[in-house]
Structure formats: C-alpha cells, structure tokens
Amino acid sequence: MEFIRDYADWFYLIGAVLFILTLRGLSGPKTAIAGNRYGMIAMAIAVITTFFVAENPVVWMIVGAMALGAIVGIARARTVSMTQMPETVALMHSLVGLAAVLIAVAAIIHNNELAKLDVGLLQANGVNFHEMSKVHLFELFVGCFVGAITFTASVFAYGKLAAKKWAKTISGTWVKPVQALIFIAMFAAGIHFFLTGNMTSFWAMTGLALVFGWVWIAPVGGGDMPVVVSLLNSFSGWAAAGIGFTLENNMLIVAGSLVGSSGAILSYIMCKAMNRSIINVLFGGAMGGTAVVVDAGDKAPRNHRSGSADDAGFLMSNADSVVIVPGYGMAQGRAQNAVKELANLLKEQGVTVRFAIHPVAGRMPGHMNVLLAEADVPYEDILEMDEINSDFPATDVVLVIGANDVVNPAAKDDPSSPIYGMPILEAHKARTIMVIKRSMATGYAGLDNDLFYNDKTMMIFGDSKKVVEDMTKAINGNGH
C-alpha cells in the first residue's frame, strides 16, 4: 500500500513510542498487562510496515515463515508451565541471536552475488547496487558475532535451567586461557573481515563466536543463571539493533536498543542485589562452581528440628504476623494457588500475611512475582527485600517455601562463604522460622544453609503444594 510506504517513518515512530510505553508498563505488576498490549500493537505495526516497505518481497516465504512461527509460538505458550518459564525465555533469546546471524550471512552473500553481476544490467532491472561500505561491514561484524555468542550461550542457559545432561558446567584452570584464546581469535578474524571483506575470515569469526558463546557461559554456576538470562536478554537486543543498522530499519534499531539497554540495567540491578560485579559473575567463577559442599567426614553432623504440617498450621493460626518467602521450590511444586489459599485463610482469622521477594529468587528475574500474580495475590501484599527486611525481628512466623541462598545467614556471618556480602532476606531474625523442603539437600548454588539448623527453625519435608494444602487443612481443623 502506497499510504503505508509514504508514511513508514511515522508508523515506525508510533511503534517506537509504544515500545517505550511497553517497558514502562512492564516495570510494575499492576501495569504489566497494559505494557504487554502496547508491545503487541507496536510489533504488529513494525511487521506490517516493514512488509510493505520491503523491496520485491517474496510474499509466500514471508507469510509462510510468519504462520509457522505463530503456530509454534501459540502452541508453546499454551503448553509451557510456569516452572519452565526461565528456560523458555533463554530459548527465545537464542532464536533472536540466531536470527541476527542468519540475517548477517544473508546480507553478505546477497551483496557478494550482486557484486559479480553487471551494474548496468542491475540498474536496468530496477536494482540499486552499492558496494558495502566500511560502516556496513562493521555493523555486520558486530551484529553477527554478538548474535552468534547470544545463540549458543542462550542454548546452554536453556539446557542448564532445564537440567539437560548435555549442559554440563565446566571448570578448571584451563577454562579462562581457552576463553581468552577463542575470543582473541574471533576478534582477529572479525577485524580482518572488516578490513578486507574476506569471506573466510567472516566464516571463521562466526564459527569461533558460536564456540565462544558456549565456553563463556558453561563455567557459570546455577546460582548465577538469573543474571545470565538477564544479560543474554540484553545481548539479544544489541544484536537486533546491529542488524537493524545493516537493514537500515529504524524500528529494529529502536526496539533492539530498548531491549539491550533495559536488559543491561536489569543485570546491573541483580548483580547489585547479589553484591557482585557482572565481571565476577561471568569471568570470576560461579557461586555454584566455587562452592565446596563440606563432606560429612570433614565436619560434624549438624542437627535440625523437623515438624509436621499440623504443627505449622497451629503456629501460624496463633500468630499475629506471618511473612511468606517463596523460592524455586514453590515454582517446582506449582504451589502458588495453594499458598494464596493459605494466606487468605490466615487473613480471615485476623493474621497479617505478607510476601517477601528477593530480586534473584527463582531462576529468572521476577520469577516469584510472576507466580504470585498468576495466583492473583494482591500486589500490596508483595514486598521487595528492602521494604520488608526491617520487619522480620517483629514477625511471629516466617514460612520459607523452597528458598535457599536468598535466606542463608552465611551471606552476613561467614566471610569464607562464596555468597558472603550478598544481601539476603533476613528471615533468621523472626521469632519462628518454618521451611518447606523436599530434603536437606543444598540449593541451586550448592551451598549448605545455616538457617536450616537454627534453633528457631522447624523443617517440614515434602512437596510444597501438598505440605501447604495440609497446613490449610490443619488451620481449618480438618487435619486430624
């Protein structure tokens, strides 16, 4: 349509504004739904406008690819569970990186093939050909290697989060030298391509970038995966922005830059919450990789106190205030709806119930917030770490559901701990602590938790959903 083609820049501007409103909406749970809608409208405008401004588009290929993507996307959205959301997000990032690589490859091959043809013949057929400038080569260089790193790094993050056997953490003194050698070789091949346009160097750069992405993320331990997912989100945005320059598509540049910058800011916030630098997370060894689980032969067995769901129900029903700390165990047990029912029942009995959220709880940014929002837990009952930490000493009961490192007092008390200095939810200061876990096994970062052996702590073993449901029955007087 001529109208869309003539006013393409205006449509792109509208889309850019909507993408900005999307980020603003996604900054809070109350406005997240509206933010998502803005994003959907913006993407629809971007796709339709680009479709009509493209020169000589192969319609059946474009429509076919869009239809296939829609089918896969809808099917995945309908079947994925909330516990699988972190790895699903990582997998989506990998596709953005792969798209950036394929677009860069297609652009270069297309340009090289046109360069072999007669310029006059091309002009006679309405094709305007200009040899790629150094600027275009640089854009392709950046977009391609960032996209390649994002692709394989995200694939590994997906495997790690989904507990795939092939996504094994690597460690050893050889790792960092190998990472450095691959990166230097990749960068050297990329510079040679940029200076000469040599295709062999381009393929070498791409291949080395794919290898580097894997080797770069493989040493990172499980405790740092939420930061990695956030950072890869940023990388996917910058890769898209780089390719946007290559395709001279303003909308892709704006959208990619927004994703890249917001992902970088979120990564910084999460690292700050862990009291670590992004360099330390990515190159200094992971919490899970550096933590040493003490063998029973090296240290005397530690005693813990266990109890039942009936005991927990009695204590909570007689409390004035209860704080619930959700962790990945709640996600794994799909217990969010049962937890909401428990909270509502306690409120009916006059108990003040609130939820305490740590910035890196779960396996992706905002994981616990999403689960609680899915269960329609009131937003005003959900408090961030900085808002609620000062209230723990006056709290009668803290119920920890499958959280480990984010409530580990070693982060404050043990200078030898790998997580020393990391801000935590200070649940250990409450009058009574109850912890729901399947066993005494360590958490995702591989660290034993001092909270579990606290004199004020009662361990309740079992599936989180079943245990919470039994607590609700006990409070109702039906647990006997």
User: Which pLDDT belongs to residue 427?
Assistant: 95
Q: Which of 400, 368, 404, 438 is nearest to 288 (CA)?
A: 404
Query: 330 with 345, same domain?
Result: yes
Q: Where are the alpha helices (DSSP H) in 197-286?
A: 199-217, 225-247, 250-273, 278-283
Name the more confident of 416 and 28.
Answer: 416
Yes or no: say if 277 and 231 are a contact pair by the CB < 8 Å rule: no
Q: What is the count of structural domains for the chain?
A: 3
Residue 422 has phi, psi (to 5 degrees) of -75, 125
Domain's final residue, options 79, 111, 135 = 79
Terminal Cα-to-Cα distance of the chain (whole angstroms): 72
Report if residue 302 sits inside a domain. no
* 107-145 per-position pLDDT tens digit: 888 777 766 665 555 455 555 545 566 777 787 788 888
Report if residue 416 sits inside a domain. yes
Domain's final residue, options 288, 319, 336 = 288
Mean pLDDT (whole number) for 301-324? 90
Run of H or E residues at 436 = strand 432-437
* CATH code, domain carrying 356: 3.40.50.1220
Query: 62 with 104, same domain?
Result: no
Query: 407 with 376, same domain?
Result: yes
Query: 70 with 119, same domain?
Result: no
Catalytic residues: 405
Report if residue 350 sits inside a domain. yes
- Is the pLDDT at 425 greater than 80, yes or no? yes
Name the more confident of 364 and 289.
Answer: 364
Report if residue 304 sits inside a domain. no
Query: 5 with 121, same domain?
Result: no
**How far apart are alpha carbons 156 and 218 in whole angstroms?**
7
Q: Where are the alpha helices (DSSP H) in 116-198?
A: 119-124, 134-161, 175-196
Query: 104 with 20, same domain?
Result: no
Specify the DSSP class assigned to residue 441: -
Query: 325 with 198, same domain?
Result: no
Query: 8 with 91, same domain?
Result: no
Mean pLDDT (whole number) for 162-171? 85
Query: 240 with 91, same domain?
Result: yes
* pLDDT band with cut points at 50, 70 and 90 for residue 415: confident
Tokens at 253, concatenated = 């540049």
Query: 258 with 358, same domain?
Result: no
Name the more confident of 38 and 371.
Answer: 38
Mean pLDDT (whole number) for 414-435? 89
Q: Which domain holds residue 30?
A: 1-79
Query: 253 with 331, same domain?
Result: no
Query: 231 with 349, same domain?
Result: no
Domain's final residue, options 49, 79, 109 = 79
Q: Which of 125, 117, 416, 388 is nearest to 290 (CA)?
A: 416
Average pLDDT, the chain: 84
Name the more confident of 199 and 397.
Answer: 397
- Is the pLDDT at 434 greater than 90, yes or no? yes
